[in-house]
Each structure stands twice: as structure tokens, then as C-alpha cells.
Amino acid sequence: MTFKRSLQAALRSARGGGYARRIIESLRPVPEPLPRAVFNFTIDFELCWGTAFDHDPRHQARQRALSSEAQARNFEPFVRLLERTGFPVSWAVLGKLADARHAVPEGARFRPSWHPGDWYAVPEGLLHDERLWNGERYLDSLRATLPSAEILSHGYAHIDYRDRAATEAVARADITLGRRLLESRGFRPEGFVYPCNKVGHEGLLRGSGFKIARGGGPEWSAAPGDVILSPVGFWISPGALSLADFKRIVDHAIELRAFVHPWMHLVECDLRQRDLQDFYRPAFDSVREHEARGELEILNFGGIARRLAPLDVP
Ligand SMILES: [Zn+2]
């Protein structure tokens, strides 16, 4: 482990390791038809489009630059790790990555009172570097390199589905456009991941062909005929959890027959801290070992939906 990561781990344990404990407390058993714990690891992939929630435009511009640069830098090494290990990871992808400049019709555009500019415009400071806002090359690479990876929809433009500016027309356009643009790139998303896990307008998801979504709290919601909402899971970062913490969480989940659902953004991976070698790779290997012992199943969201509602999902 690098000095920085060791120091972070020491500080966390001196503070009582609260984050890992909270994650363990939030674990809930999977619904009945699933016989053992279920594991799914998702990367929410958004380049510059995921950080517009911040209300301060100056902070926002800087955040968007830093975050998209890190994602662009980490994408290939992370994909190579997944290619080498064959570890199945789901990707929650914004429609913006398939077509950053798609025209959203008047009446369906997200215009929150707290956002000064055009929600859909490429940030001016990033225009010079297409790698930071145009996702086409990354989607082509995912399709070519990880052809069996599950692609989930993260909506079109990372809007806040709970904001009053997200009217039904706005939400519907964001859901359908996100799906359509991913389809135009050859993907068939079966599940939906709400931006910032802010769940809203769930009733629209089934009409757009989604059977399952990541929910916003610890509980499952799987009423027949409704979209299945999974527990929200937890944000994973080697700066906030150690490998030992991660293993402890998985051990508890196995005992409880729970859903273990870590999700991340590529910005949290720091290549200078050897995170691929010291954190993600051994974390994936340990999950594989549990799977080989029959202690958990690795499922993607489409797989979970088919198991929970076999009559409902083609
Ligand atoms: Zn997001």
C-alpha cells in the first residue's frame, strides 16, 4: 500500500471506521427467490456531465474539469484490468456520452432555478478537449473490449429527478432519450441508475422499457408490475475504504444473504496510489473466491430482474 493510502487507513481506523460500519448496517437480505448473497459492481460513467449539481458555477467549472480529466485518464487502464481479469462490471452511462449535442425540445429541457446557464451545453472551458465531454470513443472501446459488460442507462443529461424543474415531460424526455441514444450505439440497457441516486418519476421507467433501477435507500422494492428498485448500495473509493473494510463488508453480506452493491466513478481511482493493483484487483479476486465457494452470486441488474420477476422480463 502507498504511504497516502496507509495514512488514510490509519486515520479512518483511529476515527472508528464509521463509513464501513454504516455500510454494514445498511445491508439487507436479497428478496426470497435469490438463494444467496448477490454482488454487483457498477461504474457510473459520465465524463464532465455528472458534476453540474454543484450550485456554485466557479466551483462547478473546476470540478467538471478535474473530474472529467481523471475519468479520461483512468478509463483505459481500468478497462484493461477488467479485460485481463474478466471480472463483470456494470456501467451506468449517460446518453450525453453517445451524443453530447442532441437537441432536447423546448418544454422538455431541465432548467433548475439554481443553475445559471444552459444545462445541456458543453462547458466552455472544456470545449478545446473533446475527450472530456464526447463519450463516443469510450463507448466504442467498451463495446469492442468488454462486449459482455452490462450497460445501464444513467439518463440523458444527469438531471435531478427530484428537483421541481424535473417535470414529468422533462423526466420522460431524459429517460427516453438516454435509452434511445445508447441503443443507437448498439447497447440495450435493461436497468436505470438515477443521477446522484435521487429517485423520482419511477412510474415512467417501465413505459420506457426498464424493469429495474438502483433505488435511493437501503430497502428493496419489488412489487409485482412495478419497476424493481434495488437498495442504493454504497460509494466505493480506496480513499474512503480499505481492502480489509471491503472484505469485511462482503463477509457480512454473505452472512446476511444481502446485496453488495458498490458503485464508483473513474475519478476515485488514483493510478499514482497503485489503486488498480492494491485495491480493485484484489477486491475483485476476493469476490471471485467467494463466488467459487458458492457463497455469493455475481449478477448484473438485468440478471437480478430476470430472477426476481421471471414472468415479467423477457
Ligand atoms: Zn452520476
> In the chain, how many domains are there?
1
**18 Cα–ligand 1 center, Å:** 24
Q: Tell me, yes or no, whether 190 lies in a domain.
A: yes
> pLDDT by residue (tens digit) across 220-245?
998 878 899 999 999 999 999 999 99
Q: Tell me, yes or no, whether 314 lies in a domain.
A: no
| pLDDT of 312 higher than 70 | no
| pLDDT of 313 higher than 60 | no
Q: Tell me, yes or no, whether 50 lies in a domain.
A: yes
Kindly indicate the confidence band of residue 58, based on its pLDDT and cuts at 50, 70 and 90: low
Q: Tell me, yes or no, whether 313 lies in a domain.
A: no
| pLDDT of 56 higher than 80 | no
- Where in the sequence is the domain holding 90, given as residue range(s)? 3-308
- Measured between alpha carbons, how far apart are the two ends of the chain, in Å? 45
Which chain residues have CB less than 5 Å from ligand 1, an ion?
Answer: 44, 50, 195
| Rounded average pLDDT over 125-132 | 92
List all residues 6 or more positions away from 129 whose beta carbon is below 8 Å from its beta carbon: none
**97 Cα–ligand 1 center, Å:** 12
Q: Tell me, yes or no, whether 214 lies in a domain.
A: yes
**148 Cα–ligand 1 center, Å:** 22
Instruction: Give the C-alpha separation, 154 to 92, whole Å.
Output: 5
Of 271, 276, 279, give the one whose Cα is nearest residue 244. 279
Contact 268, 234 (CB under 8 A): no
**142 Cα–ligand 1 center, Å:** 18
**128 Cα–ligand 1 center, Å:** 23
**21 Cα–ligand 1 center, Å:** 24
**70 Cα–ligand 1 center, Å:** 15
Q: Tell me, yes or no, whether 212 lies in a domain.
A: yes
Query: pTM of the full predicted structure?
Result: 0.95
**68 Cα–ligand 1 center, Å:** 12
The whole-chain average pLDDT of the chain stands at 93
Q: Look up the CATH number of the domain holding residue 289.
A: 3.20.20.370
Q: What's the grid cell of residue 85?
A: 481479469
> pLDDT by residue (tens digit) across 139-164?
999 999 999 999 999 999 999 999 99
**147 Cα–ligand 1 center, Å:** 22
**175 Cα–ligand 1 center, Å:** 14
